Chains A and B, each alone.
Chain A
Amino acid sequence: MAAMESERRRAELLERIGSRFDLEPRVAEDGTAWVSVREQDLGDCLAFAKREGFDHCSAVSVTDWPEEETFELTYHLWSYETKVLLTVKSRIDRGKATVASAIPLWGPSAGIHERELHELFGVEFAGNPDLAPLFLEKWDGPPPFRKDFDWRAYVTETFYEEGNPHEQSYRD
């Protein structure tokens, strides 16, 4: 019964999002909802989702597509009320990867994910006051989770001594 109610509310919600942003939401086999919006609609779509009761920003993620010169941002949102999981996706230009912070909507719970993504992918989140590195100390290389970061070469150059016969196998 509860599952049917959740399905009905999910269908209504997706219809509203679909008509508002002129897109076709997808419902996966596991019942999760997925929408892809244009970059200029991302902020509005997230604000719309928040108003619709998606109180929990479960995670924010970035997928790097260097060949298409884009970053894909994914916002995984959960509604405690309707028990619907919604993922909002948007592609942004990899060359000038700046997007508005979701802190006004979800507070520090979104801010901390943005801080991580800034460090690992180099995406700027305008309006996030704290984008200090979380994990890497004194890192001066490129954002390390980008697909075009050659970590093998970095490790070889940084940690293995040239001419050391014991470490030669790492260079072969």
Chain B
Amino acid sequence: MAKGRRAADGYDLYFGPVHPGSGNFGVKLTVEGERVVAARADPGYLHRGFEKLMEYRTPMQNAVLSDRLCILESLNWNLVHAEAVDRLCGTEIPERAKTIRVILAELSRIQSHIIWYGVLSKALGFDTGFKVAFGYRDYVLDLFEFVTGGRVYPAGYICPGGVRRDIPEGTKRRIVELLAKLERMIREFEAYDSKTIAVRCRGIGVLELDDALRLGATGPVLRASGLSADVRRDAPYEIYDDLDFEIPVREEGDAFARSIIRRREIEESIRIVRQALGRLTAEPLPPVKPKTAGKLPEGEVYVRNEIARGEAAVYLRSVGESHPYRCKIRGPDLLHMIPVLEHLLVGAEVADVPAIYWSLNICPADMDR
């Protein structure tokens, strides 16, 4: 993973960009002895120019593209994009479609948090945690495949106008079974804690609240530093206003606090999915058919969502053509992987770098876009 070069005043150490270790992203560390004295993020390995690509495509085509904004939680990105188009067009979404959107977005959040647990475990040398996590993740992917047709990429299942098609018969029962498995998974994670995650993560990578705000942290990273902020509650979208859930907050700001927050969030997401399932009425939902000749009305919107990693947003500007004139995508990881990570790594021990790195649950895809 690392390639060293002796420098006059210490060492340059490259953490990444080899995929299994750091995920298509690297950070160049300057090390003196065992201590990191400088860190410089090295992004760009996944830059695909999505914002520009979207200027040449219709919203329905962009819905499929929006999958790729973050491989690890593609349904959440589907939702942000779809909402931006819906609000620009003033489209009313059927209640059933909204509920399905929330169920899938929350399952996607859970799935993303499971990946995070897996890669954090892997980074700490706790291979069992990685395997257990990725085993459970497959149960969620089975469900995604059953509903959307895709395991990782749902091909724009959550699309402008609602969802591509109604959920197949038997989905509700499968989700109920899945949630029971996920509860068992949380208990397993908790049982591992005292000898694994807690030992390596407690007290390291402390992010003070002032710094979190200054550096643009959002989501679990911000909430682990003591600020209770969540777009789902502060500016509710879809049906979140009617749901009862808590926003876990911790004061410590260290890597362990961030890990506790995500585990608690899995529990809250399970609560949300159960409530949403109870609201699913029986009326059938017609499939959304792509409009090939439709035009976006002139205007602009800025739509924010709470995804697993933090605040995601889309700024959509239209001049009345079939394609958006400008689409700006705001992902949480541009902030977490550059200013926040660089700040946290300075002064850290080399051995703590992987723990700090993965405690931020980073995703290069939504940083580079």
Contacts and interface: CB of A to CB of B under 8 A. Distances in A.
Contact of B330 (A55, A76, A134, A144): A76
Given A30-B301, A55-B213, A145-B51, A63 B317 contact: yes
A116 B313 CA distance: 16
Given A134-B43, A144-B52, A145-B51, A63 B326 contact: yes
B172 interface: no
Contacts of A112: 216, 334-335, 338-339
Contacts of A135: 43-44, 47, 368
B52 A87 contact: no
A72 B104 CA distance: 36
B126 interface: no
Interface residues of B, number: 36
A59 B87 contact: no
A64 B303 CA distance: 20
A58 B311 contact: yes
A64 B327 CA distance: 11
Contacts of B328: 59, 61, 74
Interface stretch (B7-15, B28-36, B198-206, B227-235): B227-235
Nearest to A115: B338
Contacts of B146: none
Contacts, number: 93
A137 interface: yes
B149 interface: no
A74 B326 CA distance: 12
B216 A29 contact: no
Interface residues of A, number: 39
A109 B304 contact: no
A142 interface: no
B301 A28 contact: yes
B90 interface: yes
Contacts of A116: 334
B170 interface: no
Contact of A59 (B47, B301, B326, B330): B330
B299 to A, nearest CB: 8
Interface in A39-84: 55-59, 61, 63-64, 74, 76, 78, 80, 83
Nearest to B368: A135
A121 B3 CA distance: 34
A107 interface: yes
Given A58-B313, A80-B229, A135-B44, A32 B302 contact: yes
B4 interface: no
Contacts of A85: 235, 302, 304
Nearest to A30: B87
A83 B234 contact: yes
A56 to B, nearest CB: 7
Contacts of A63: 317, 325-326
Nearest to B343: A108
A110 B70 CA distance: 22
Given A28-B301, A137-B44, A144-B49, A76 B235 contact: no
A76 B315 contact: yes
A21 B301 CA distance: 23
B301 A61 contact: no
Contacts of A145: 49, 51-52
B285 interface: no
Interface of A: 28-32, 34, 55-59, 61, 63-64, 74, 76, 78, 80, 83, 85, 87, 106-113, 116, 120, 133-137, 144-145, 151
The 8 nearest A-B residue pairs measured at CB: A109-B216, A135-B47, A107-B214, A108-B339, A61-B328, A59-B330, A135-B44, A63-B326
